[in-house]
Structure 1
Amino acid sequence: MENIPNCPKCGSEYTYEDGNLYICPECAHEWSKDILADGDTVTVIKDLKVKGSASGIKVGTKIKGIRLVEGNDGHNIDCKVPGVGAIKLKQEFVKKA
């Protein structure tokens, strides 16, 4: 059997595959099988509010040249968003483009 990772949200070992996603039946968390790397282009999958800005980041916004970092607060992607500037994002709000 294929080595399927534990759920990153709750740690459950009962995860399974569904197409291009891994799914946890215990907490209903879904995540992509695609592993992100420095320099990747990603797409935002949820409207995001930005502190100190009247406009946020809309679904479908493409972000080029991401940089993965260790973030204590869960923000593990450094990037420059068009129209917003330099920002840190959580990996759960993007998918590989």
Structure 2
Amino acid sequence: NMLICPECAYEWDPNQADEDAIHLKDAVGNDLAEGDKVTLIKDLKVKGSSTVLKVGTKATIKRFVDGDHDIDCKVDGAGAMMLKSKFVKKSN
């Protein structure tokens, strides 16, 4: 059951886990996925601004990125931001 790319002839097994995918956990150990809603667990100062994101502020994960700020998300009331997974917890 191998798939073959018609352009470059690369072969892969679709049942095998994607090794390049980024897997993140929130502050309490729950698995996070793109599109999840999260809540801040700590007041966070926004660098270069006097704005402070308060505990309980909700955000929606757009995608995961490599680096120390590993979540690209949309924060309610503040717009697009990059956050660290250790400062969020998954919400319902």
Structure 1 gaps, min length 5: 1-30
Structure with greater contact order relative to length (CA < 8 Å, sep ≥ 6) = 2
Residue aligning to 1:68: 64
Larger strand share, 1 or 2: 2
Residue 45 of structure 2: aligned partner: 49
Report Cα offsets for 1:29-82 as digits up to 9, x if no partner.
Answer: xx42310011100000000000122221100001124421111xx100001112
The runs of at least 4 consecutive aligned structure 1 residues that moved more than 4 Å come to: none
Equivalent residue runs for 1:1-97 within 5 Å = 31-71=27-67, 74-97=68-91
Residue correspondences, number = 65
Q: TM-score, normalised by structure 1?
A: 0.61
Unaligned runs of 5+ in 2: 1-26
TM-score (norm 2): 0.64
| Identity level (%) | 58
**8 Å CA contact 2:34, 2:61 repeated in 1:** yes
CA contact (8 A) 1:41 1:66 kept: no
Matched with 2:12 is none
RMSD: 1.3
